[in-house]
Amino acid sequence: MSDTDSSCFARVRALARRVCGSRHLQRFAVPVLAASVCALLLLVFQHLSQTVNYRSVVSQLCHLSAREWIGALGATAASFVALVGRDAVGLRYVDARVPRLPLWVGATVGSALGNATGFGALTGGAVRCRVYGVAGVTPVQVGRMTVFTSITLALALAMMTAAGMVASAGTLAGMMGLAPDVLRLMGAMLLAASGALIAACGAAPKKLRLFGRDALSFNVPARRDLVAQLALAVVDVIAAGLALWALLPHKGTSVAAQVGFVQFVTVYAAAMLLGMIGHTPGGVGVFEAAMVYALGGTVPTPQMLAALLAYRAIYFGVPLALSAGVLAVFEGRALKAPLASGFAQRGAQSVSQLAPLFLAICTFVVGGMLVISGATPAFMKRIAILQTVLPLWVMESSQMLASLFGVLLLFVARGLLRRLDAAWWFALIIASLNLALSLAKGLAFVEAGVLCVLIALLLATRKRFNRHSSLFAERFTPGWLVSVGMVIALAVWVLFFAFRDVQYSQHLWWQFAFDERAPRALRATLAAGLLASALACWQLLRPAPGRFEKPEAADLLEAARIVRAQERSDAVLAMMGDKSFLFSESREAFLMYAKRGRTWAALHDPVGPRCEWPGLIRQFVALAHAHGGRAAFYQVRADALPLYLDAGLTLMKLGEEAHIALPEFELKGSHRAHLRYALKRGERDGFSIELIEPDRVPDCLPILREISDAWLESRVAREKSFSVAAFTAGYLAAQSVMLVRQQGKPLAFVTFMTTDLHTEATVGVMRHLPDASPYAMEYLFTQLALHLKGAGFRSLSLGVAPLSGMQPTPLASPWHRAAALAWRFGGWFYNFRGLRGFKNKFQPHWEPRYLAASGSVSVLLTLADLSLLAGGSRS
């Protein structure tokens, strides 16, 4: 990057430093909000369950008939068929086509994963990007499709609720506590608004612009796509509601006797809408509270709670388990190349890449199940059987150990998300041990079956966990720790709900007997809570180790050898000596990096053979995470982005780099008139060019330093580092210099970096005297391009134009939108357009450059650290 570019980036990063304080607060605001919602929901359930007995809920669950379970499963299947149809219409909306098998896999697996985690637009979108991407669907199209399906689902829920308000206002009035006329009016207004929205759509899709600005534009779907999507969403909701309806009592004084299916679906749609607004995983808690509140006067609360628990297991648990099975099948196909080729093989590999995400979610769910199971009483009939074959101490220790292992799984799940081999081994060992403990503590056959499924998935996906790093060195985010805390809080609530009739006293802790289930659950839950608290405190309080060390002379020589043997000239920045190196195992490739705060920043893509890149990237991410830091790859190229996505990093566009295609560069034509004028003006002003080869640079350093010092003094600046070429004797000695003289007096110079292949050159340090002619630099760059063309070079890089190419789009990230606004209106801050305009005089090809970094909100902190690195700060 040139010094002109660095000035702009310094200003941009200064802005990032000013806002990172508020962004840092957001890192904790979301987990605190989630914890508050969890606490509120637990209070609501505590109030709703005052008259409910735990045994009655369990009894209702046990008395659900096979017919009811099968009916709920059938309705769930119908709902997922409608989900596939919704994805098909969504793909048609974005003008994409996907073959039948990827469509079914992407829609069902993506929906199952999104339902389980509560971030359907994120995790479900990740699945669809993988699966649909094999058929050529871009992430942007998947994002547009996800927004379309999400908005239409919310609209369908609102329309169904409104229709129910109009058709059954009398029945719903008592359930919702509102007057019938008020309900009818509200429903009619919602239906009218929905009808107007449908009528506003045309026969073909169109782009709507507000105020004539692209930043406020969105695609309006065709009427047939909107109607089809709404119809399928209604079918989806009705089928999902039918899954719960099938589990409710339908005899005597029941929901069927007092509330018809139409009224029930209305309540169900409203509860789903509230769950979407609440943003809890699958609407859990919010949905249940709304259903119990609305139907509490019609259905006995124990029966309602039992039906809701069974509904969660069927509609959310079964699809997730089946999706995991699909993942295992695709994993097997991906590992056995002879069985598949071409499109099918690419699809299998793409889906199997999601193994870490699936396993992390499944492991966290299983860990939560073990912790909550330890807080519930075992069946007395099963305890009586165990009493005849096991000693008391085995049962007592089994329940406590199972809860402790459950807590460990909650933490190990994050290691699986990071693809750590240590996490895989821990998860496999813990799951295997718990398989025996689940039987010893109370013959928990369902729990044992779930553990068997987890073990099978771990074994099927072994090769996906190949990162060698310390599991306990991984720093946990506040959001993850809050999620663990929510599991513990739920377990405590379940404990007191299940043993509501127990008289608690200090003697309860020391009661050991086969039939003393309350003391056993109490001790297990306390132990789980203490272990989770200890691990969380250790994670929050431990320092972030790791210090930057300058490279040794031998490493510099090794890096120089690799740099000279490849064609990327910007890799010569490694020779500045201000960055450390991470070499591949073969020592044929390396990364150059530095550290500031918790940011471990690698400059550019790896240098060396491309086959070495994936391993180096994973190794560097593991190194940063092992020290509790954030990994960042600065100014990476577009063709390497899949490697960073596979490493679990977040991408952010920084700008575009200007490359002059030298074989095509010439001064003919009207579009080169300004360059011809700069040459003529330079000749008239007495300019002359002197090329200084690397062996002559040490002798010319005093002249160059005089120009450089004057340039720095005029800008009240100091030498930069890291991503910015700096004026140092050792670095300049490895480059060629082009010097401009005016009437024999040194006026300006530019260094250019090259390798032994002589195919690409990159502008390095460029300086000029403060009173130099405004045409001096344009004259210098034109002469440099002509010289390199004559020497047989193919390309000359003029450096990055910050924020260039950041066009606003409807689905752009907040950073992208802010950058686009800065590009458009930030002239007072820096002349973004002027910098691109100067480089455009040479008619370059513009190539995007990105930042790939750990985290999401923390990316702004990474930008602030990068600005300090460029200023020379290390830690």
Q: Which two tokens stand for residue 120?
A: 């359907």
Q: What is the pLDDT of residue 856?
A: 61
Q: Are 440 and 395 in contact (CB under 8 A)?
A: yes
Say whether both 525 and 574 belong to one domain.
Answer: no
Q: Which of 250 and 542 is assigned the larger pLDDT? A: 250
Residue indicated by tokens 């309602």: 304
- If pLDDT is split at 50, 70 and 90, which confidence band does 120 have? very low
Q: What is the pLDDT of residue 74?
A: 92
CA-CA distance, 464 to 331, in Å (whole number)?
A: 9
The least confident of 382-386, 614-618, 787-791 is 382-386
pLDDT tens, position by position, 642-655: 899 888 888 888 88
Q: What length is written for the chain? A: 875
Q: Are 707 and 749 in contact (CB under 8 A)?
A: yes
One DSSP character per residue, 762-831 reads: EEEEEEE-TT--TTHHHHHHHHHHHHHHHTT--EEEEEEEETTT----TT--HHHHHHHHHHHHGGGT--
Mark which of 353, 381, 415 sits at the end of a domain: 353
Closest alpha carbon to 775 in 669, 675, 643, 653: 675
Q: What is the pLDDT of residue 762?
A: 93
Residue 140 to residues 106, 111, 351, 809, Cα–Cα distance (Å) = 16, 19, 19, 10
CA-CA distance, 66 to 561, in Å (whole number)?
A: 71
Say whether both 609 and 665 belong to one domain.
Answer: no
Neighbouring residues of 796: CB distance < 8 A, sequence distance ≥ 6: 659, 660, 662, 752, 760, 761, 762, 763, 784, 785, 788
> Does 25 score more than 60 pLDDT?
no
832: in domain:
yes
By DSSP bridging, strand 745-753 and strand 760-768 are: antiparallel
536: in domain:
yes
The least confident of 122-136, 163-177, 709-723 is 163-177
**Between the CA atoms of 648, 652, 658 and 659, what dihedral angle is there, to the nearest 10 degrees?**
10
Say whether both 499 and 383 belong to one domain.
Answer: yes
Mean per-residue pLDDT for 442-467? 83
CATH code for the domain of 604: 3.40.630
117: in domain:
yes
| Identity of the highest mean pLDDT range in 107-121, 321-335, 462-476, 554-568 | 554-568
**Burial environment of residue 656 by CB neighbours within 10 A (0 to 12, 13 to 18, 19 or more):** buried
Q: Are 153 and 272 in contact (CB under 8 A)?
A: no
Q: Which two tokens stand for residue 607?
A: 């240098």
**Using the 8-state DSSP alphabet, how is residue 607 labeled?**
B
Closest alpha carbon to 570 in 644, 636, 617, 631: 636
In single-letter form, the type of residue at position 96 comes to A
Q: Which two tokens stand for residue 284?
A: 């859990």
Mean per-residue pLDDT for 92-114? 82
Q: Which of 870 and 216 is assigned the larger pLDDT? A: 870
What radius of gyration, in Å, describes the C-alpha atoms of the chain? 32
One DSSP character per residue, 435-474 reads: HHHHHHTT--HHHHHHHHHHHHHHHHTGGG--B---GGGS
Mean per-residue pLDDT for 748-761? 91
CA-CA distance, 194 to 259, in Å (whole number)?
A: 26
* Cα atoms in the Cβ-side hemisphere of radius 13 Å centred on 374: 33
- If pLDDT is split at 50, 70 and 90, which confidence band does 283 have? low
Mean pLDDT of the chain: 78
Q: Are 422 and 473 in contact (CB under 8 A)?
A: no
Mean per-residue pLDDT for 658-666? 91
**Burial environment of residue 22 by CB neighbours within 10 A (0 to 12, 13 to 18, 19 or more):** exposed
Say whether both 483 and 618 belong to one domain.
Answer: no
Helix ranges (DSSP H) in 336-444: 342-352, 355-374, 380-387, 392-417, 421-440
Name the phi and psi angles at 255, rounded to 5.
Answer: -65, -35
Mean per-residue pLDDT for 347-352? 52
> Does 827 score more than 50 pLDDT?
no
Model pTM?
Answer: 0.55
Q: What percent of the chain has pLDDT over 90?
A: 18
Helices and strands in the chain: count of H runs, count of E runs: 32, 13
874: in domain:
no
Q: What is the pLDDT of residue 335?
A: 44
By DSSP bridging, strand 745-753 and strand 736-742 are: antiparallel
Q: What is the pLDDT of residue 834?
A: 54
Mean per-residue pLDDT for 255-262? 62
In single-letter form, the type of residue at position 418 comes to R
The least confident of 9-18, 447-456, 480-489, 564-573 is 9-18
| Identity of the highest mean pLDDT range in 24-38, 282-296, 366-380, 608-622 | 608-622
Say whether both 752 and 768 belong to one domain.
Answer: yes
Say whether both 170 and 261 belong to one domain.
Answer: yes
The least confident of 287-301, 607-621, 830-844 is 830-844
Q: What is the pLDDT of residue 232?
A: 92
Neighbouring residues of 552: CB distance < 8 A, sequence distance ≥ 6: none
Say whether both 146 and 274 belong to one domain.
Answer: yes
Q: Which two tokens stand for residue 853?
A: 């970094």
Q: What is the pLDDT of residue 597?
A: 76
Say whether both 574 and 524 belong to one domain.
Answer: no
pLDDT tens, position by position, 599-638: 899 999 999 999 999 999 999 998 888 777 889 999 999 9
Closest alpha carbon to 498 in 515, 521, 514, 516: 521
Mark which of 623, 653, 683 sits at the end of a domain: 653
Give Dmax over CA atoms of the chain in angstroms: 107
pLDDT tens, position by position, 168-226: 766 666 555 667 777 788 878 888 888 888 887 777 766 655 444 444 455 778 888 88
- If pLDDT is split at 50, 70 and 90, which confidence band does 14 have? very low
24: in domain:
no
Residue indicated by tokens 């998947």: 142
Q: Which of 74 and 251 is assigned the larger pLDDT? A: 74
Q: What is the pLDDT of residue 617?
A: 93
* Cα atoms in the Cβ-side hemisphere of radius 13 Å centred on 274: 17
Looking at the DSSP bridge assignments, the partners of residue 742 are 687, 745
Say whether both 710 and 798 belong to one domain.
Answer: yes
Mean per-residue pLDDT for 144-158? 85
The least confident of 333-337, 548-552, 578-582, 747-751 is 333-337
Mean per-residue pLDDT for 285-307? 75
Q: Into how many domains does the chain fold?
A: 4
H/E stretch holding 213: strand 213-220
Q: What is the pLDDT of residue 46?
A: 65
Q: Which two tokens stand for residue 801?
A: 């134009």
Q: What percent of the chain has pLDDT over 70?
A: 75
Q: Which two tokens stand for residue 311?
A: 């509904």
Mark which of 624, 653, 682 sits at the end of a domain: 653
CA-CA distance, 334 to 674, in Å (whole number)?
A: 56
Report CA 393 to chain centroid distance, whole Å: 45
Q: Which of 347 and 737 is assigned the larger pLDDT? A: 737
Task: Residue 607: give the domain boundaries.
Answer: 553-653
pLDDT tens, position by position, 481-493: 888 888 888 888 8
Closest alpha carbon to 476 in 423, 403, 552, 399: 423
297: in domain:
yes
Q: Are 551 and 736 in contact (CB under 8 A)?
A: no
CA-CA distance, 599 to 647, in Å (whole number)?
A: 16
Report CA 716 to chain centroid distance, whole Å: 40
Mean per-residue pLDDT for 729-743? 89
Looking at the DSSP bridge assignments, the partners of residue 242 are none
| Identity of the highest mean pLDDT range in 167-181, 226-240, 252-266 | 226-240
* Cα atoms in the Cβ-side hemisphere of radius 13 Å centred on 32: 5
Neighbouring residues of 499: CB distance < 8 A, sequence distance ≥ 6: 54, 377, 517, 518, 521, 522
- Torsion over CA: 508, 510, 515, 517 (sign): positive
**Between the CA atoms of 62, 63, 69 and 72, what dihedral angle is there, to the nearest 10 degrees?**
-110
Say whether both 630 and 687 belong to one domain.
Answer: no
Say whether both 427 and 496 belong to one domain.
Answer: yes
CATH code for the domain of 731: 3.40.630.30
> Does 91 score more than 70 pLDDT?
yes
Mean per-residue pLDDT for 141-168? 82
- Torsion over CA: 234, 235, 237, 238 (sign): positive
> Does 697 score more than 70 pLDDT?
yes
Looking at the DSSP bridge assignments, the partners of residue 767 are 749
Q: Which of 864 and 702 is assigned the larger pLDDT? A: 702
Q: What is the pLDDT of residue 449?
A: 87
Say whether both 341 and 405 belong to one domain.
Answer: no
CA-CA distance, 281 to 448, in Å (whole number)?
A: 24
Mean per-residue pLDDT for 285-312? 77
Closest alpha carbon to 865 in 634, 635, 621: 634
Q: What is the pLDDT of residue 333?
A: 52
185: in domain:
yes
Neighbouring residues of 294: CB distance < 8 A, sequence distance ≥ 6: 175, 176, 267, 270, 271
> Does 823 score more than 70 pLDDT?
no
Residue 555 to residues 272, 442, 596, Cα–Cα distance (Å) = 60, 60, 21
Q: Are 85 and 232 in contact (CB under 8 A)?
A: yes
51: in domain:
no
* Cα atoms in the Cβ-side hemisphere of radius 13 Å centred on 160: 29
Report CA 754 to chain centroid distance, whole Å: 37
Q: Angle at the Cα of 811 (from 807 to 813), degrees rounded to 5?
A: 75
> Does 297 score more than 70 pLDDT?
no
